[in-house]
Chains A and B, each alone.
Chain A
Amino acid sequence: MSKLKDSDIQTLIGWVLRGGVFLSIGICICGAVIYLFGHGHDIANYHNFKGGPASVQMDEIVKSIMALKGRAIIQAGIILLIATPILRVLFSAYGFAIEKDYLYTGITVLVLIIIFTSMLGGHAGY
């Protein structure tokens, strides 16, 4: 195992993390400006939880982004932010595979499987 390769992967992962955070925050700010212009004077009421899976359908979000809805653009930024560490894991798997460290490629893939199980676990619905 060469140390040089290890630090190359660390540099790459560092860039993925930084890039993901900056890009998602940028998108969030753009969405926020649009949202506050349109809804800034609405009455805020978050005392009771009233969300649900219906508000987070992927095709709905895409449609709303196309319509330049602020809230949907913020949501896209947030989804990218959540994806950032997951992308980091993906790049780690790739890095370990290049190093021919198959034990850790396996461990990393296992972590990915756990995250996807959580995503599709069926506990998202009511």
Chain B
Amino acid sequence: MSVIELTIIILIGSYFAGLLGSLTGLGGGFVIIPLFTLFLHIDIHYAIGASLITVIATSSGAAAAYLKEGITNMRLGMFLEIATTTGAMFGAILAIYMPTNYIAILFGLLLILSALMSVRKKREHIVQRKSYLAKKLNLNSNYPTADGPVEYSVTNVGGGFGMMLFAGLISGLLGIGSGALKVVAMDGIMRIPFKVSTTTSNFMIGVTAAASAVVYLQRGYIEPALSMPVVIGVLIGAFTGSKILVRSTSANWIRVVFSIVISVIALQMIYNGVTHKL
């Protein structure tokens, strides 16, 4: 295959990755890595590198938009970034020494978890119980709604911090945003309102990815000729997705279909990992 053919295929594939990623909230990395490894037979390290760059681009773009709405809890994000960047640093180091078929299996497992997360019911819970650590760290805040600002508190700061270490590790190891794990930490453990946890998670993803990208970049895992069409394709796709999302209110069936497709891809990644094809 010539360079220009490969570039065009990646560009088109990345466009749909960005589109689906933004429609489902899963992010583009989940499509990029299988596209590169299963269909184009590109080394998984290049796939991880390109995916990381994409994660930084989409998360930075989206974070800028969310900041305007004032839902993002910057202090909470900053505090938890201590955990995610530390995890990401170790994840990137681990990725250098871990056999690629283990990476493929782990990726498949996380893919299934994320697919399940995206179809599950989302309920809004507001906790008012005061936690000592959350108060000390000034993490409690409020977010604007149609009926005025809603105050919320943060609980189990330690547990959430631990989960974020793991989320960062996975992000650095697999080159994805691991937004699903971040939401588990914030929504499930720290009991933060769903809107706040998704926007704050997005705010953190870019920095987390940058902490491992500096390692990948120096190792030569971030190949310019491959990363360029991915970033451009995903960004345009994500932009299209955000426009569609504004118009259609029932994006639920897309999420279900995508979750099924992604589970099939996940099983294929796991199969290839087990049989040492990746």
List chain A positions with a Cβ less than 8 A from chain B. Answer: 1, 6-7, 9-11, 13-15, 17-18, 20-21, 24-25, 28-29, 31-32, 35-36, 39-44, 46-49, 51-56, 71-72, 74-75, 77-79, 81-86, 88-89, 92, 101, 103-104, 107-108, 110-111, 114-115, 117-119, 121, 123-125
Closest 4 CB pairs of A and B: A51-B220, A124-B218, A85-B206, A74-B224
Option from A10, A17, A71 in Cβ contact (under 8 Å) with B74: A10
Residues of A with C-beta under 8 A to B63: 14, 17
Option from A78, A86, A117 in Cβ contact (under 8 Å) with B89: A117
Which of B45, B78, B96 has the most C-beta atoms of chain A within 10 angstroms of its own C-beta? B78
What is the interface of chain A mostly: helix, strand, loop, or mixed? helix
Option from B4, B43, B207, B211 in Cβ contact (under 8 Å) with A40: B4
Residues of B with C-beta under 8 A to A74: 224-225, 227-228
Q: Are A36 and B7 in contact (CB under 8 A)?
A: yes
Measured between C-beta atoms, what is the minimum distance from B101 to chain A in Å? 14
**Could you jot down 18 A-B contacts, CB within 8 Å?**
A18-B64, A20-B60, A32-B7, A44-B3, A46-B42, A47-B41, A51-B220, A74-B228, A82-B213, A83-B210, A84-B210, A85-B56, A85-B207, A111-B78, A118-B88, A119-B218, A121-B89, A124-B215
Q: Are B74 and A44 in contact (CB under 8 A)?
A: no
Option from A31, A46, A107 in Cβ contact (under 8 Å) with B46: A46
CA distance A47 to B235 in the complex (A): 25
Q: Are B220 and A56 in contact (CB under 8 A)?
A: yes
Residues of B with C-beta under 8 A to A24: 57
Measured between C-beta atoms, what is the minimum distance from A82 to chain B in Å? 5
CA distance A32 to B206 in the complex (A): 23
Measured between C-beta atoms, what is the minimum distance from A108 to chain B in Å? 6
Option from A9, A79, A111 in Cβ contact (under 8 Å) with B217: A79
Q: Are B218 and A53 in contact (CB under 8 A)?
A: yes
Known contacts: A25-B57, A25-B232, A52-B219. The answer to whether A43 contacts B211 by CB under 8 A is: no
CA distance A13 to B74 in the complex (A): 11
Chain B interface, number of residues (Cβ within 8 angstroms): 66
Residues of B with C-beta under 8 A to A104: 75, 78-79, 138
Option from B46, B56, B93, B225 in Cβ contact (under 8 Å) with A71: B225
Q: Are A84 and B78 in contact (CB under 8 A)?
A: no
Q: Are A82 and B210 in contact (CB under 8 A)?
A: yes
Q: Does B275 contact A (CB under 8 A)?
A: no
CA distance A118 to B89 in the complex (A): 5
Q: Does B260 contact A (CB under 8 A)?
A: no
Known contacts: A39-B3, A51-B223. The answer to whether A107 contacts B78 by CB under 8 A is: yes
Q: Are B224 and A75 in contact (CB under 8 A)?
A: yes
CA distance A86 to B60 in the complex (A): 11
Known contacts: A82-B210, A107-B78. The answer to whether A52 contacts B60 by CB under 8 A is: no
Known contacts: A13-B67, A47-B43, A114-B89. The answer to whether A84 contacts B232 by CB under 8 A is: no
Q: Does B188 contact A (CB under 8 A)?
A: no
